[in-house]
């Protein structure tokens, strides 16, 4: 049984773009991500960390962020999701766990967005359960609202977003628009 949305039922990205505002252009994000890389370098202080990217959303941001960090890193990824192509979350689904040993290591957990935090908290807690000595969370953006689960926050964050549906720069609109070079928000 397929859990994906039939192609005929997927809302149009073109229609969404017409009903959206651009919140952050690529040039501004480039500057913020470079600054974040410098701050992460300072926090790592030469320690080789595991750079653990949350797929699919953090793919573009993670790659760009990694290139700004001078400290040597070991790379791995996880794939955990609550959205599965929809615009609202449900139960957490683990599609891939980390392969690299996290025992006694610092993990730099990289994701595109910290919204309510269910997914990031579950992945962070899993890293600690696997023996990570510390987990630093780096997100491209955080939403401003009061629905965040207790016990999760970003150690490094690029931008704050309004409490609207956002997409682009790794974030999707019904699995579309991840490769847009800006962050968009649907108009209220």
Taking the model in full, what pTM does it have? 0.89
Q: Tokens 């359960």 — which residue?
A: 129
- Put the strands of the sheet holding 106-114 in their side by side order: 93-96, 73-81, 49-55, 106-114, 134-143, 156-161
Q: 139: closest CA among 25, 61, 34?
A: 61
What 3-state class would DSSP assign to 85?
Answer: coil
Listed by start position, the domains of the chain span: 27-162
DSSP 32-61: HHHHHHHHHHHHHTT--EEEEEEETTTHHH
In order along its 188 residues, the chain shows pLDDT tens digits of 345 555 668 899 999 999 999 999 999 999 999 999 999 999 999 999 999 999 989 999 999 999 999 999 999 999 987 655 554 555 667 889 999 999 999 999 999 999 999 889 999 999 999 999 999 999 999 999 999 999 999 999 999 999 999 999 999 999 999 999 999 999 98
Residues designated as active site: 115
Give the per-residue pLDDT at 2: 43
Structure token pair of residue 62: 């993670």
CA gap 30, 68 in Å, rounded:
10
- List all residues 6 or more positions away from 6 whose beta carbon is below 8 Å from its beta carbon: none
Give the per-residue pLDDT at 188: 83
CATH of domain 27-162: 3.40.50.2020
């Amino acid at each position: 049984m397929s859990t994906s949305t039939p192609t005929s039922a997927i809302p149009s990205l073109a229609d969404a773009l017409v009903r959206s505002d651009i919140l952050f252009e690529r040039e501004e994000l480039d500057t913020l991500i470079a600054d974040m890389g410098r701050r992460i370098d300072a926090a790592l202080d030469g320690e080789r960390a595991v750079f653990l990217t949350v797929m699919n959303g953090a793919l573009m941001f993670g790659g760009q962020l990694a290139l700004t960090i001078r400290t040597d890193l070991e790379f791995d990824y996880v794939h955990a999701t609550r959205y599965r192509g929809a615009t609202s979350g449900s139960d957490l689904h683990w599609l891939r766990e980390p392969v690299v040993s996290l025992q006694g290591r610092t993990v730099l957990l990289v994701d595109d967005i910290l919204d309510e935090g269910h997914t990031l908290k579950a992945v962070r807690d899993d890293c600690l359960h696997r023996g990570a000595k510390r987990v630093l969370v780096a997100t491209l953006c955080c939403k401003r609202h009061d629905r965040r689960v207790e016990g999760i926050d970003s150690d490094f964050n690029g931008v704050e977003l309004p409490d609207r549906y956002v997409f682009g720069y790794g974030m999707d609109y019904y699995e579309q628009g991840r490769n847009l070079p800006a962050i968009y928000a649907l108009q209220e």
